[in-house]
Amino acid sequence: MLPVRIHRFARPLLAATAIATILAGCSVGSVGGGGDSGSAGATNITVLYGTGTANDTLFKALSDGFTAANPDIKLTLETQPTGTEGDNLTKTKLSTGEMADVFYYNSGSLFQALNPDTNLAPLTDQPWVDQLSAEMKTVVSTPNGTYGAPLGTTFAGGVLYNKKVYDKLGLKVPTSWAEFDANNKKILADGKVTPIEQTFGDTWTSQLFVLGDFANVAAQDPNWAADYTANKAKYSDQPALQAFKNQQQTHADGYYNKNFASAKFDDGVKAIATGTAAHYPMLTAVLSTVVQNYPENVDDVGFFPLPAQDAANTQMTLWLPNAIYIPKTTEGAKLDAAKKFVAWVNSTEGCAVQQKAGSVSGPYAISSCTLPDSVPAAVKDMQPYLDNKKVSPALEFLSPIKGPNLENITVEVGSGISSAEKGAKQYDEDVKKQAQQLGLEGW
């Protein structure tokens, strides 16, 4: 499948198990290889990606399209495992000089962990770099240059909502927490649908109140991610504590479905698509599931960011695509061919192949790729936040720290078992262990 992760999200058909892996903090896409010169004067380059049916489909389509347009270049596709094993293989291949000529990998903090200035070929002078969104450029660059090109679309974390329910009750998209609360009160009083669907039977789905709120935290404290990484900011303090408090409040106010403790992800998708629930805190990456299972309801599902307490701070938390990179060991004619492939992937022709072979969960992160009019309504709802620059990359792109137990902690807070303050403190301890394992300063 074509990623990103929560620590990284997927592009084409996003199964619940794939999203769960992402939310757990594991990378979904990966790398590896080495190439030989082709015969008959052709230049042969190897392209490495994480194994998976959707990735296989995508890269086969990209390979066919590129080589048809560039018959003097031959692509050899290679795969390797995803997740932690893939991460380790990627780092090993880069350090030993055995990396493929082009490889597909995470953007953001995991990209930074590859020591890009030492291991990757700079692409700063490539014409497509000027077309990158500001958010995308941030997560594939260092102060010394840009090293990656996006592959796939963005997706956001926030609230999926049922437009028909909103129309029937005369509700407006909320921009502050008070407005969101007022909408939920009105939906509850009407008594016909669930105000907020929760699906703690799949524990990973409980994290959106916290992870999707990060852009609001960044709006209040732009340095929060850096301070968090340096152990100078904590979830048990404001502004980050508020996400836990909001989750606690929504449970205490009785907004959840009665079976929230046992309901599964598929139940949540069905509820928001068919209108038995008004809201479902979730990622727009799951829209592919709506398209697949409820095609007649796709445009009944809208999206808005989790509202901040103050409307002025309400921003959209964005997950950026993974990217394709070229290692410094790719040289000469191979380097020229590799750069040509990277550029083609983000050309009009390459974007068309991406569109046909994958699915859309948000706008593209480069202006050379544009969305068709047929995209789901929820994807269109994301665009104004990007246009108005009311957006921040998710925390995982700005910090390598994500504790493994967040989903269990948010289940307890969202179930009324634990208080917001206790849950936030537990998560601070959870991330401390990971930060120490990473050897970060200040921990």
Q: Are 3 and 22 in contact (CB under 8 A)?
A: yes
pLDDT of 28 reads 35
Q: Are 237 and 214 in contact (CB under 8 A)?
A: no
pLDDT of 8 reads 36
Q: Are 356 and 61 in contact (CB under 8 A)?
A: yes
Amino acid at the residue 164: K
Amino acid at the residue 204: W
Whole-angstrom distance between the N-terminal and C-terminal Cα of the chain? 35
pLDDT of 11 reads 33
Burial level of 156, CB count in 10 A (0-12/13-18/19+)?
buried
Distances (CA, A) of 67 to 38, 63, 70, 353: 13, 6, 5, 13
Per-residue tokens: 322 = 């993974």
Q: Are 201 and 405 in contact (CB under 8 A)?
A: no
Neighbouring residues of 98: CB distance < 8 A, sequence distance ≥ 6: 32, 33, 34, 92, 329
Q: Note the pLDDT tens digit of each residue in 123-151.
A: 999 999 999 999 999 999 999 999 999 99
Which contacts (CB < 8 Å, 24+ apart) does range 334-339 have?
334/35, 334/37, 334/43, 334/44, 334/45, 334/101, 335/121, 336/43, 337/43, 337/45, 337/70, 337/73, 337/101, 338/45, 338/101, 338/102, 338/121, 339/123, 339/126
Among residues 161, 160, 135, 164, the alpha carbon closest in space to that of 150 is found at 135
SS3 51: coil
A 10 A CB-CB count for 425 gives 18
Per-residue tokens: 138 = 């941030």
Distances (CA, A) of 40 to 37, 66, 415: 10, 18, 65
Residues of the chain with pLDDT under 70: 1-40
pLDDT of 23 reads 57
CA atoms of 230 and 325, how far apart (whole Å): 28
Query: Which 8-state DSSP code applies to residue 61?
Result: H
CATH numbers and ranges of domains, the chain:
16-154+320-357 (3.40.190.10), 155-318 (3.40.190.10)
SS3 24: coil
pLDDT of 373 reads 87
pLDDT of 41 reads 78
